[in-house]
Amino acid sequence: MKGFLNEILRGLRACPKYLPAKYFYDETGDRLFQQIMSSPEYYLTRCEYEIFSLKTPAIADLLQSHLPLFDLVELGAGDCLKSRFLLKELVHRNLSFTFYPVDISANVIEQLTQTLPEAIPGLKLHGLNGEYLAMLEKARQLSDRPKVVLFLGANIGNLEKDQTGIFLAQIRATLKKGDLLCIGFDLKKDPDIILSAYNDKAGLTRAFNLNLLKRINREFEADFDLTAFKHFPVYDPVSGACRSFLISLKQQRVNMKTAGESFCFEPYEPVFMEISQKYSRDEILALALTSGFRPLTTFCDSKHWFGDAIWEVDDK
Ligand SMILES: C[S@@+](CC[C@H](N)C(=O)[O-])C[C@H]1O[C@@H](n2cnc3c(N)ncnc32)[C@H](O)[C@@H]1O
């Protein structure tokens, strides 16, 4: 809670202002994100769903050929829509493993703990509620088996490009030689297709962004007027960065009682909300090599819009 408040304050005091997207996910945010995933514009989930529904036996073969025994950690597990194909396959193969879903949303971990072992009889699950790296370290302490880490849904794209290599090197440092990482990348494609995924006609992404202001109002006694902000996504085909902003539609002051602070917004002042970085194949390869991984293979959907890359932890 203290960390959440401090990060929100840091973002609202900054120039230009920003809010950390990891806090989108309260109960309402989790539900909105599930609706986004099934919206016609949000191709990412459909592409990765295709990969896991059709290629899970090949993915499982690859994992087993490298690691006869392992535990599975999923960073930012969400509702495990795609990973459950793999979980079912591994249970079906009678593989002994524990599944550690990691998520910053307590609601997500609660839901998975309640529903997943019922949906996949025989699954051993140990949910970890918290941040990616801290929870990966916890999973490592809980079991000394080799690890297969899933990081799906293009969550990696929510990091700025200059932070991505650092983050991957931190994951690498928590793992042992031979451990595997399966990481979902959204690939560069027609800019119109990309932009519409973050600007759906039903207004779900808009509601998802505004929900963070609602959450701040509720948890920190703030008075954001949700009608005075407009959702505005942009895509830069050169850098591959798709960025979402909330734009203040007027001059306004927002008070936050819990912090005893208020924040002024100029007319049309942007608040940066989230990056969704898109990658070329060469950029993905370079990222693996510079962060200490050996790329094994990449599973793609039939349109080649999305790739799940499998990397092995290389020598130090
Ligand atoms: C975009 S959703 C993707 C969910 C899932 N991986 C999928 O592919 O459908 C991101 C998930 O990561 C979680 N998350 C975001 N930032 C996180 C962080 N820093 N640490 C742990 N979980 C995080 C969110 O709560 C959410 O469930």
Q: Give distance in angstroms: CA of 250 to centre of ligand 1.
A: 32
Least Cα distance to 230 among 203, 255, 257 occurs for 203
Q: 73-82 burial, b if ≥16 CB within 10 A, otherwise e?
A: bbbbbbbbbb
Could you give phi then psi for residue 97, rounded to 5 degrees? -155, 160
Per-residue pLDDT for 316 more than 90? no
Atom of ligand 1 nearest to the CA of 29: 25
Its sign, for the CA torsion 172, 178, 179, 180, is positive
The per-residue pLDDT for range 250-270, each reduced to its tens digit, is 999 999 999 999 999 999 999
Residue to substitute in 46, 103, 110, 211 for testing ligand 1 pocket (most ligand atoms within 8 angstroms of CB): 103
Mean residue pLDDT of the chain comes to 97
Q: Give distance in angstroms: CA of 278 to centre of ligand 1.
A: 17
**Cβ < 6 Å from ligand 1: which residues?**
22, 25, 33, 76-78, 81-82, 102-105, 108, 131-132, 152-153, 155
Nearest CA to ligand 1 atom 12: 76
Rounded to whole angstroms, the Cα distance separating 7 from 313 reads 32
DSSP 169-180: HHHHHHS-TT-E
Residue to substitute in 7, 22, 80 for testing ligand 1 pocket (most ligand atoms within 8 angstroms of CB): 22
Q: Which domains does the chain have, with CATH numbers?
A: 1-316 (3.40.50.150)
Per-residue pLDDT for 186 more than 80? yes
CB 280 within 8 A of CB 240: yes
Nearest CA to ligand 1 atom 27: 78
Per-residue pLDDT for 315 more than 90? no
CB 199 within 8 A of CB 205: yes
Q: Give distance in angstroms: CA of 264 to centre of ligand 1.
A: 31
The per-residue pLDDT for range 58-117, each reduced to its tens digit, is 999 999 999 999 999 999 999 999 999 999 999 999 999 999 999 999 999 999 999 999
Q: What percent of the chain has pLDDT over 70?
A: 99
Per-residue pLDDT for 222 more than 70? yes
Residue to substitute in 7, 19, 104 for testing ligand 1 pocket (most ligand atoms within 8 angstroms of CB): 104
Helix/strand/coil for 315: coil
Could you give phi then psi for residue 206, rounded to 5 degrees? -60, -50
- The residue to which tokens 């992404």 are assigned: 205
| Strand 71-75 relative to strand 98-103, pairing | parallel
Nearest CA to ligand 1 atom 1: 155
pLDDT of residue 188: 98
Per-residue pLDDT for 2 more than 80? no
Least Cα distance to 22 among 37, 4, 9, 39 occurs for 4
Radius of gyration of the chain (CA): 20
Could you give phi then psi for residue 187, rounded to 5 degrees? -90, 155
What would the mean pLDDT of 144-167 be, rounded to a whole number? 97
